[in-house]
Structure 1
Amino acid sequence: MAKAESEHEGPVVERMLLFTDAVVAIAITLLALELPVPKGRTNAELWHAALEARPEYKAFLISFVVIWAHWSAHRKVFRGLRALDRNLSALNGLWLLMVVLIPFATKIIAGDGAFQLRFGFYALIETVTSLLFLLMAWHVRRAGLAAEGTPPERFTESMLRSGAIAACFAVSIPVAFAGEWAYLCWIAAVAVTRLATRVTQRQVQPA
Protein backbone atom coordinates (compact mmCIF):
# COMPACT_ATOMS: atom_id res chain seq x y z
CA MET A 1 0.00 0.00 0.00
CA ALA A 2 1.51 3.34 -1.05
CA LYS A 3 1.94 5.98 1.57
CA ALA A 4 -0.14 9.11 1.29
CA GLU A 5 1.73 12.34 0.73
CA SER A 6 0.33 13.70 4.00
CA GLU A 7 1.93 10.96 6.10
CA HIS A 8 4.78 11.71 8.46
CA GLU A 9 6.96 9.21 10.25
CA GLY A 10 9.55 9.02 13.01
CA PRO A 11 10.03 12.20 15.04
CA VAL A 12 6.61 13.61 14.10
CA VAL A 13 4.84 10.56 15.53
CA GLU A 14 6.98 10.69 18.65
CA ARG A 15 6.23 14.39 19.20
CA MET A 16 2.51 13.75 18.82
CA LEU A 17 2.62 11.00 21.43
CA LEU A 18 4.65 13.13 23.84
CA PHE A 19 2.21 16.01 23.40
CA THR A 20 -0.74 13.67 24.00
CA ASP A 21 0.83 12.30 27.18
CA ALA A 22 1.49 15.84 28.42
CA VAL A 23 -2.10 16.96 27.81
CA VAL A 24 -3.49 13.91 29.61
CA ALA A 25 -1.15 14.55 32.54
CA ILE A 26 -2.32 18.17 32.73
CA ALA A 27 -5.97 17.04 32.69
CA ILE A 28 -5.35 14.73 35.65
CA THR A 29 -3.47 17.50 37.46
CA LEU A 30 -6.38 19.87 36.97
CA LEU A 31 -8.66 17.30 38.57
CA ALA A 32 -6.55 17.31 41.73
CA LEU A 33 -6.25 21.10 41.82
CA GLU A 34 -10.04 21.40 41.88
CA LEU A 35 -10.42 19.20 44.97
CA PRO A 36 -11.86 21.12 47.95
CA VAL A 37 -9.69 21.24 51.06
CA PRO A 38 -11.72 20.45 54.21
CA LYS A 39 -11.45 23.07 56.94
CA GLY A 40 -12.07 22.88 60.66
CA ARG A 41 -10.53 23.67 64.03
CA THR A 42 -11.43 20.31 65.55
CA ASN A 43 -11.34 16.73 64.34
CA ALA A 44 -15.13 16.70 64.22
CA GLU A 45 -15.32 19.88 62.15
CA LEU A 46 -12.67 18.64 59.77
CA TRP A 47 -14.40 15.29 59.35
CA HIS A 48 -17.75 16.99 58.80
CA ALA A 49 -16.26 19.27 56.13
CA ALA A 50 -14.73 16.26 54.37
CA LEU A 51 -18.08 14.46 54.36
CA GLU A 52 -19.78 17.50 52.87
CA ALA A 53 -17.28 17.38 50.00
CA ARG A 54 -18.07 13.75 49.17
CA PRO A 55 -19.64 14.60 45.77
CA GLU A 56 -16.45 16.36 44.69
CA TYR A 57 -14.24 13.50 45.90
CA LYS A 58 -16.46 10.91 44.20
CA ALA A 59 -16.41 12.85 40.93
CA PHE A 60 -12.62 13.14 41.17
CA LEU A 61 -12.16 9.38 41.58
CA ILE A 62 -14.52 8.63 38.70
CA SER A 63 -12.77 11.09 36.39
CA PHE A 64 -9.30 9.91 37.39
CA VAL A 65 -10.19 6.33 36.50
CA VAL A 66 -11.86 7.46 33.27
CA ILE A 67 -8.89 9.57 32.11
CA TRP A 68 -6.44 6.83 33.04
CA ALA A 69 -8.52 4.31 31.05
CA HIS A 70 -8.59 6.64 28.02
CA TRP A 71 -4.83 7.13 28.18
CA SER A 72 -4.15 3.42 28.65
CA ALA A 73 -6.25 2.57 25.59
CA HIS A 74 -4.53 5.31 23.57
CA ARG A 75 -1.08 4.00 24.48
CA LYS A 76 -2.07 0.43 23.54
CA VAL A 77 -3.18 1.44 20.04
CA PHE A 78 -0.55 4.09 19.33
CA ARG A 79 2.55 2.36 20.65
CA GLY A 80 2.98 0.64 17.29
CA LEU A 81 2.18 3.69 15.17
CA ARG A 82 4.65 4.08 12.28
CA ALA A 83 3.10 7.10 10.57
CA LEU A 84 0.75 10.00 11.16
CA ASP A 85 -1.57 11.56 8.59
CA ARG A 86 -3.82 14.62 8.68
CA ASN A 87 -6.98 12.73 9.49
CA LEU A 88 -5.43 10.93 12.45
CA SER A 89 -3.88 14.17 13.69
CA ALA A 90 -7.28 15.88 13.55
CA LEU A 91 -9.02 13.01 15.34
CA ASN A 92 -6.36 12.97 18.02
CA GLY A 93 -6.76 16.70 18.51
CA LEU A 94 -10.52 16.35 18.95
CA TRP A 95 -9.97 13.46 21.35
CA LEU A 96 -7.62 15.62 23.42
CA LEU A 97 -10.22 18.39 23.43
CA MET A 98 -12.67 16.00 25.07
CA VAL A 99 -10.05 14.85 27.57
CA VAL A 100 -9.26 18.39 28.71
CA LEU A 101 -13.01 19.03 29.09
CA ILE A 102 -13.30 16.18 31.61
CA PRO A 103 -12.07 18.30 34.58
CA PHE A 104 -14.72 20.91 33.69
CA ALA A 105 -17.38 18.20 33.36
CA THR A 106 -16.24 16.87 36.73
CA LYS A 107 -16.99 20.21 38.37
CA ILE A 108 -20.38 20.22 36.68
CA ILE A 109 -21.42 16.76 37.84
CA ALA A 110 -20.25 17.41 41.40
CA GLY A 111 -22.65 20.35 41.77
CA ASP A 112 -26.02 20.37 43.53
CA GLY A 113 -29.36 20.11 41.76
CA ALA A 114 -30.28 19.59 38.10
CA PHE A 115 -28.88 16.05 38.29
CA GLN A 116 -30.12 15.00 34.87
CA LEU A 117 -28.46 17.90 33.05
CA ARG A 118 -25.20 17.64 35.00
CA PHE A 119 -25.03 13.87 34.61
CA GLY A 120 -26.02 14.06 30.95
CA PHE A 121 -23.32 16.59 30.13
CA TYR A 122 -20.61 14.42 31.71
CA ALA A 123 -21.92 11.28 29.99
CA LEU A 124 -22.04 13.10 26.64
CA ILE A 125 -18.39 14.12 26.96
CA GLU A 126 -17.42 10.51 27.66
CA THR A 127 -19.56 9.21 24.81
CA VAL A 128 -17.91 11.54 22.30
CA THR A 129 -14.45 10.77 23.68
CA SER A 130 -14.97 7.03 23.25
CA LEU A 131 -16.42 7.41 19.76
CA LEU A 132 -13.47 9.55 18.68
CA PHE A 133 -11.07 6.90 19.93
CA LEU A 134 -13.01 4.23 18.06
CA LEU A 135 -12.60 6.30 14.89
CA MET A 136 -8.86 6.68 15.55
CA ALA A 137 -8.34 2.93 15.98
CA TRP A 138 -10.39 2.26 12.86
CA HIS A 139 -8.45 4.83 10.83
CA VAL A 140 -5.05 3.53 11.94
CA ARG A 141 -6.01 0.05 10.76
CA ARG A 142 -7.73 1.16 7.55
CA ALA A 143 -4.99 3.56 6.48
CA GLY A 144 -2.17 1.16 7.32
CA LEU A 145 -0.51 3.54 9.77
CA ALA A 146 0.49 0.81 12.24
CA ALA A 147 3.95 -0.71 12.27
CA GLU A 148 4.46 -3.91 10.34
CA GLY A 149 3.67 -6.95 12.43
CA THR A 150 1.15 -5.18 14.68
CA PRO A 151 -1.61 -7.73 15.40
CA PRO A 152 -4.92 -6.62 13.84
CA GLU A 153 -6.86 -7.86 16.88
CA ARG A 154 -5.35 -4.98 18.84
CA PHE A 155 -7.49 -2.59 16.84
CA THR A 156 -10.52 -4.88 16.83
CA GLU A 157 -10.44 -5.08 20.62
CA SER A 158 -9.97 -1.33 20.97
CA MET A 159 -12.90 -0.61 18.68
CA LEU A 160 -15.15 -3.07 20.49
CA ARG A 161 -14.19 -1.68 23.89
CA SER A 162 -14.61 1.94 22.81
CA GLY A 163 -17.95 1.21 21.19
CA ALA A 164 -19.16 -0.59 24.31
CA ILE A 165 -18.08 2.27 26.58
CA ALA A 166 -19.71 4.84 24.31
CA ALA A 167 -22.94 2.82 24.33
CA CYS A 168 -22.99 2.55 28.12
CA PHE A 169 -22.44 6.28 28.60
CA ALA A 170 -25.00 7.14 25.92
CA VAL A 171 -27.63 4.87 27.43
CA SER A 172 -27.03 6.38 30.87
CA ILE A 173 -28.20 9.83 29.65
CA PRO A 174 -31.90 8.99 29.31
CA VAL A 175 -31.68 6.58 32.25
CA ALA A 176 -30.60 9.53 34.43
CA PHE A 177 -34.14 10.87 34.25
CA ALA A 178 -35.22 7.83 36.28
CA GLY A 179 -32.75 8.55 39.10
CA GLU A 180 -29.15 8.41 40.23
CA TRP A 181 -28.98 4.67 39.69
CA ALA A 182 -28.00 5.67 36.15
CA TYR A 183 -24.46 5.36 37.52
CA LEU A 184 -24.99 1.61 37.19
CA CYS A 185 -24.70 2.04 33.44
CA TRP A 186 -21.16 3.31 33.95
CA ILE A 187 -20.33 0.37 36.18
CA ALA A 188 -21.74 -1.93 33.51
CA ALA A 189 -19.17 -0.52 31.10
CA VAL A 190 -16.45 -2.39 33.00
CA ALA A 191 -18.19 -5.72 32.48
CA VAL A 192 -18.97 -4.94 28.85
CA THR A 193 -15.35 -4.05 28.04
CA ARG A 194 -14.16 -7.28 29.61
CA LEU A 195 -16.64 -9.15 27.47
CA ALA A 196 -15.32 -7.36 24.38
CA THR A 197 -11.78 -8.45 25.31
CA ARG A 198 -12.87 -12.08 25.69
CA VAL A 199 -14.67 -12.01 22.36
CA THR A 200 -11.54 -10.71 20.65
CA GLN A 201 -9.33 -13.30 22.32
CA ARG A 202 -11.62 -16.11 21.21
CA GLN A 203 -11.50 -14.86 17.64
CA VAL A 204 -7.70 -15.10 17.51
CA GLN A 205 -7.46 -18.51 19.19
CA PRO A 206 -6.69 -21.36 16.79
CA ALA A 207 -9.57 -23.70 16.09
Structure 2
Amino acid sequence: MSGPVRPEPGFSPERLVFFTDAVFAIAMTLLAVELARPEEKELASARALGSFLVGHRGSYLAFALAFVLLWSVWRRHHRLMDRIGELSRAFTAWHAPFLLLVAFLPFPTAVIGVSIGNPLAQTLFAGTMAAMIFCEAAIKDIAGSTGLVTGDPAQTRRHAGDSWGVGLWFVLSIGVAWLFSYAFVLWFVAPLAATYGGALISRLRTSPAGHADPYDGDAPRA
Protein backbone atom coordinates (compact mmCIF):
# COMPACT_ATOMS: atom_id res chain seq x y z
CA MET A 1 0.00 0.00 0.00
CA SER A 2 1.42 3.35 -1.03
CA GLY A 3 1.69 6.13 1.54
CA PRO A 4 0.41 9.69 1.19
CA VAL A 5 1.89 11.75 -1.62
CA ARG A 6 4.46 14.18 -0.30
CA PRO A 7 5.01 17.58 -1.98
CA GLU A 8 8.15 18.06 -4.01
CA PRO A 9 10.99 19.57 -1.92
CA GLY A 10 10.60 23.35 -1.84
CA PHE A 11 6.83 23.24 -2.44
CA SER A 12 5.47 22.54 1.03
CA PRO A 13 2.47 24.77 1.93
CA GLU A 14 3.21 24.41 5.64
CA ARG A 15 6.76 25.75 5.34
CA LEU A 16 5.56 28.70 3.26
CA VAL A 17 2.92 29.49 5.89
CA PHE A 18 5.47 29.33 8.73
CA PHE A 19 7.93 31.59 6.90
CA THR A 20 5.24 34.10 5.92
CA ASP A 21 3.92 34.28 9.48
CA ALA A 22 7.46 34.89 10.77
CA VAL A 23 8.06 37.77 8.34
CA PHE A 24 4.76 39.40 9.28
CA ALA A 25 5.47 38.98 12.99
CA ILE A 26 8.92 40.57 12.67
CA ALA A 27 7.63 43.45 10.52
CA MET A 28 4.79 44.22 12.94
CA THR A 29 7.24 44.16 15.86
CA LEU A 30 9.64 46.49 14.05
CA LEU A 31 6.84 49.03 13.72
CA ALA A 32 7.00 49.51 17.49
CA VAL A 33 10.80 49.41 17.59
CA GLU A 34 10.87 52.46 15.30
CA LEU A 35 8.91 54.55 17.82
CA ALA A 36 10.97 57.19 19.66
CA ARG A 37 11.52 56.59 23.37
CA PRO A 38 11.47 59.44 25.89
CA GLU A 39 14.82 60.31 27.41
CA GLU A 40 15.50 61.25 31.01
CA LYS A 41 14.60 64.91 30.53
CA GLU A 42 11.20 63.96 29.05
CA LEU A 43 10.53 61.70 32.04
CA ALA A 44 11.33 64.39 34.60
CA SER A 45 7.70 65.51 34.89
CA ALA A 46 4.23 64.73 33.63
CA ARG A 47 4.22 67.95 31.61
CA ALA A 48 7.52 67.11 29.90
CA LEU A 49 6.34 63.60 29.11
CA GLY A 50 3.03 64.93 27.84
CA SER A 51 4.82 67.35 25.52
CA PHE A 52 6.97 64.48 24.23
CA LEU A 53 3.96 62.28 23.53
CA VAL A 54 2.06 65.08 21.80
CA GLY A 55 5.13 65.93 19.73
CA HIS A 56 5.34 62.34 18.47
CA ARG A 57 1.63 61.84 17.82
CA GLY A 58 2.30 61.39 14.11
CA SER A 59 4.51 58.39 14.86
CA TYR A 60 1.80 56.76 16.95
CA LEU A 61 -0.79 57.36 14.25
CA ALA A 62 1.53 55.88 11.62
CA PHE A 63 2.25 52.87 13.85
CA ALA A 64 -1.44 52.15 14.44
CA LEU A 65 -2.29 52.55 10.76
CA ALA A 66 0.55 50.33 9.52
CA PHE A 67 -0.18 47.68 12.15
CA VAL A 68 -3.86 47.47 11.19
CA LEU A 69 -2.99 47.34 7.49
CA LEU A 70 -0.43 44.57 8.00
CA TRP A 71 -2.87 42.71 10.23
CA SER A 72 -5.57 42.84 7.55
CA VAL A 73 -3.15 41.66 4.84
CA TRP A 74 -1.98 38.81 7.08
CA ARG A 75 -5.54 37.74 7.87
CA ARG A 76 -6.44 37.63 4.17
CA HIS A 77 -3.32 35.61 3.44
CA HIS A 78 -4.13 33.29 6.35
CA ARG A 79 -7.62 32.63 4.98
CA LEU A 80 -6.17 31.95 1.53
CA MET A 81 -3.50 29.54 2.77
CA ASP A 82 -6.09 27.57 4.75
CA ARG A 83 -7.57 26.66 1.35
CA ILE A 84 -4.30 25.88 -0.42
CA GLY A 85 -3.66 22.18 -0.93
CA GLU A 86 -0.48 22.44 -3.01
CA LEU A 87 1.91 25.01 -4.45
CA SER A 88 3.14 25.99 -7.88
CA ARG A 89 6.32 27.77 -8.94
CA ALA A 90 4.44 30.99 -9.73
CA PHE A 91 2.52 30.97 -6.45
CA THR A 92 5.73 30.47 -4.48
CA ALA A 93 7.76 32.97 -6.50
CA TRP A 94 5.26 35.81 -6.02
CA HIS A 95 5.75 35.49 -2.27
CA ALA A 96 9.29 36.87 -2.64
CA PRO A 97 8.29 40.45 -3.64
CA PHE A 98 5.23 40.21 -1.40
CA LEU A 99 7.27 39.45 1.73
CA LEU A 100 10.03 41.86 0.71
CA LEU A 101 7.48 44.67 0.82
CA VAL A 102 6.05 43.44 4.12
CA ALA A 103 9.54 43.53 5.64
CA PHE A 104 10.20 46.98 4.14
CA LEU A 105 7.01 48.64 5.43
CA PRO A 106 8.45 49.67 8.85
CA PHE A 107 10.80 52.10 7.05
CA PRO A 108 8.15 54.20 5.22
CA THR A 109 6.04 53.98 8.38
CA ALA A 110 8.87 55.61 10.36
CA VAL A 111 9.24 58.26 7.64
CA ILE A 112 5.59 59.31 7.66
CA GLY A 113 5.65 59.18 11.44
CA VAL A 114 7.93 62.22 11.52
CA SER A 115 6.54 63.94 8.39
CA ILE A 116 3.05 62.62 7.78
CA GLY A 117 2.00 65.67 5.74
CA ASN A 118 5.01 65.41 3.38
CA PRO A 119 3.77 64.31 -0.07
CA LEU A 120 6.95 62.35 -0.79
CA ALA A 121 6.66 60.53 2.54
CA GLN A 122 3.04 59.66 1.74
CA THR A 123 4.10 58.53 -1.73
CA LEU A 124 6.70 56.19 -0.24
CA PHE A 125 4.21 54.63 2.17
CA ALA A 126 1.28 54.41 -0.26
CA GLY A 127 3.54 53.09 -3.02
CA THR A 128 4.84 50.34 -0.73
CA MET A 129 1.32 49.39 0.32
CA ALA A 130 0.05 49.43 -3.28
CA ALA A 131 2.88 47.19 -4.48
CA MET A 132 2.36 44.81 -1.55
CA ILE A 133 -1.37 44.49 -2.20
CA PHE A 134 -0.84 44.08 -5.94
CA CYS A 135 1.43 41.12 -5.09
CA GLU A 136 -1.32 39.79 -2.83
CA ALA A 137 -3.81 40.10 -5.69
CA ALA A 138 -1.46 38.27 -8.07
CA ILE A 139 -1.05 35.45 -5.55
CA LYS A 140 -4.82 35.11 -5.25
CA ASP A 141 -5.28 35.17 -9.03
CA ILE A 142 -2.72 32.39 -9.42
CA ALA A 143 -4.37 30.33 -6.70
CA GLY A 144 -7.79 30.75 -8.26
CA SER A 145 -6.79 30.12 -11.86
CA THR A 146 -4.43 27.15 -11.49
CA GLY A 147 -6.43 24.87 -9.24
CA LEU A 148 -4.42 25.38 -6.06
CA VAL A 149 -7.40 26.20 -3.83
CA THR A 150 -9.98 23.84 -2.46
CA GLY A 151 -13.60 24.86 -2.90
CA ASP A 152 -14.82 27.48 -5.35
CA PRO A 153 -11.91 29.09 -7.28
CA ALA A 154 -14.24 31.86 -8.48
CA GLN A 155 -14.48 33.11 -4.91
CA THR A 156 -10.70 33.41 -4.73
CA ARG A 157 -10.65 35.33 -8.00
CA ARG A 158 -13.31 37.69 -6.61
CA HIS A 159 -11.12 38.24 -3.57
CA ALA A 160 -8.27 39.00 -5.96
CA GLY A 161 -10.45 41.70 -7.50
CA ASP A 162 -10.96 43.19 -4.04
CA SER A 163 -7.19 43.35 -3.56
CA TRP A 164 -6.65 44.99 -6.95
CA GLY A 165 -9.23 47.59 -5.91
CA VAL A 166 -7.43 48.35 -2.64
CA GLY A 167 -4.08 48.58 -4.40
CA LEU A 168 -5.49 51.05 -6.91
CA TRP A 169 -6.93 53.07 -4.01
CA PHE A 170 -3.43 53.51 -2.59
CA VAL A 171 -2.16 54.50 -6.04
CA LEU A 172 -4.93 57.13 -6.22
CA SER A 173 -3.87 58.49 -2.84
CA ILE A 174 -0.36 59.11 -4.21
CA GLY A 175 -1.73 61.60 -6.74
CA VAL A 176 -3.95 63.23 -4.12
CA ALA A 177 -0.99 63.57 -1.73
CA TRP A 178 0.67 66.07 -4.08
CA LEU A 179 -2.46 68.22 -3.98
CA PHE A 180 -3.59 67.88 -0.36
CA SER A 181 -1.40 67.20 2.67
CA TYR A 182 -4.16 65.15 4.34
CA ALA A 183 -4.40 62.57 1.56
CA PHE A 184 -3.39 59.90 4.09
CA VAL A 185 -6.98 60.01 5.38
CA LEU A 186 -7.90 57.99 2.28
CA TRP A 187 -5.95 55.05 3.69
CA PHE A 188 -8.42 54.71 6.56
CA VAL A 189 -11.29 54.02 4.16
CA ALA A 190 -9.42 51.51 1.99
CA PRO A 191 -12.00 48.77 2.88
CA LEU A 192 -14.52 50.72 0.79
CA ALA A 193 -12.25 50.20 -2.20
CA ALA A 194 -12.39 46.46 -1.59
CA THR A 195 -16.18 46.46 -1.27
CA TYR A 196 -17.08 48.66 -4.23
CA GLY A 197 -13.94 48.93 -6.34
CA GLY A 198 -13.29 45.21 -6.06
CA ALA A 199 -16.79 44.36 -7.27
CA LEU A 200 -16.35 46.67 -10.27
CA ILE A 201 -12.95 45.23 -11.14
CA SER A 202 -14.29 41.68 -10.90
CA ARG A 203 -16.99 42.56 -13.46
CA LEU A 204 -14.61 44.32 -15.82
CA ARG A 205 -11.90 41.70 -15.80
CA THR A 206 -12.17 39.03 -18.47
CA SER A 207 -10.43 35.68 -18.68
CA PRO A 208 -10.89 34.31 -22.25
CA ALA A 209 -11.25 30.53 -22.31
CA GLY A 210 -8.22 28.68 -23.50
CA HIS A 211 -5.70 31.38 -22.72
CA ALA A 212 -2.63 30.50 -20.71
CA ASP A 213 -2.32 31.73 -17.15
CA PRO A 214 -0.70 35.21 -17.29
CA TYR A 215 1.66 34.51 -14.37
CA ASP A 216 2.97 31.04 -15.09
CA GLY A 217 1.67 28.15 -17.08
CA ASP A 218 3.09 25.45 -14.85
CA ALA A 219 0.77 22.97 -13.20
CA PRO A 220 0.45 22.62 -9.44
CA ARG A 221 3.30 20.73 -7.85
CA ALA A 222 2.20 17.69 -5.89
**TM above 0.5:** yes
Q: Cα deviation per residue 1:153-207 (whole Å; 9 max; x = unaligned)?
A: 43133212211111110001111011222123223312222346888xxxxxxxx
Would you say 1:43 and 2:46 are equivalent positions? yes
Structure 1 contact 9–83 (Cα < 8 Å) conserved? no
Match of 2:92 in 1: 89
What SS does structure 2 have at the residue aligned with 1:110?
helix
Structure 2 contact 28–70 (Cα < 8 Å) conserved? yes
Residue type matched to 2:107 in 1? F
Choose 50-59 or 156-165, whichever is displaced more: 156-165
The CA distance in 1 between the partners of 2:64 and 2:117, in whole Å, is 21
Q: Which runs of 4+ in 1 moved over 3 A?
A: 7-11, 194-199
Match of 1:3 in 2: none
Match of 1:141 in 2: 144
- Between the aligned residues of both structures, percent identity stands at 27
**Gaps in structure 1 of 5+ consecutive residues:** 1-6, 200-207
CA distance 1:92–1:196, shift in 2 (3 Å): same
The alignment's TM-score, normalised by the length of structure 1, stands at 0.84
The alpha carbon displacement at 1:88 in A equals 1.0
What SS does structure 1 have at the residue aligned with 2:44?
coil
Residue type matched to 2:165 in 1? A
What SS does structure 1 have at the residue aligned with 2:182?
helix
Give the counterpart of 2:128 among 125, 128, 143.
125
CA distance 1:113–1:184, shift in 2 (3 Å): closer
Would you say 1:100 and 2:93 are equivalent positions? no
Match of 2:156 in 1: 155
The alpha carbon displacement at 1:152 in A equals 2.6
Residue type matched to 1:74 in 2? H
Would you say 1:34 and 2:37 are equivalent positions? no
Choose 179-188 or 61-70, whichever is displaced more: 179-188
Match of 1:172 in 2: 173
Structure 2 contact 166–197 (Cα < 8 Å) conserved? no
Structure 1 contact 157–196 (Cα < 8 Å) conserved? no
Structure that is richer in helix per residue:
1
The CA distance in 2 between the partners of 1:95 and 1:60, in whole Å, is 20
Match of 2:203 in 1: none
The CA distance in 2 between the partners of 1:93 and 1:85, in whole Å, is 14
Choose 169-178 or 111-120, whichever is displaced more: 111-120
The alpha carbon displacement at 1:112 in A equals 3.3
Q: Cα deviation per residue 1:69-107 (whole Å; 9 max; x = unaligned)?
A: 110111111111111121111101110001001101111
CA distance 1:31–1:192, shift in 2 (3 Å): same
CA distance 1:182–1:37, shift in 2 (3 Å): same
**Gaps in structure 2 of 5+ consecutive residues:** 1-6, 201-222
Residue type matched to 1:156 in 2? R
Structure 1 contact 40–49 (Cα < 8 Å) conserved? no
Q: Cα deviation per residue 1:22-49 (whole Å; 9 max; x = unaligned)?
A: 1100100111111122332111111110
The alpha carbon displacement at 1:111 in A equals 2.6
CA distance 1:197–1:178, shift in 2 (3 Å): closer
The alpha carbon displacement at 1:9 in A equals 8.6
Aligned length: 192
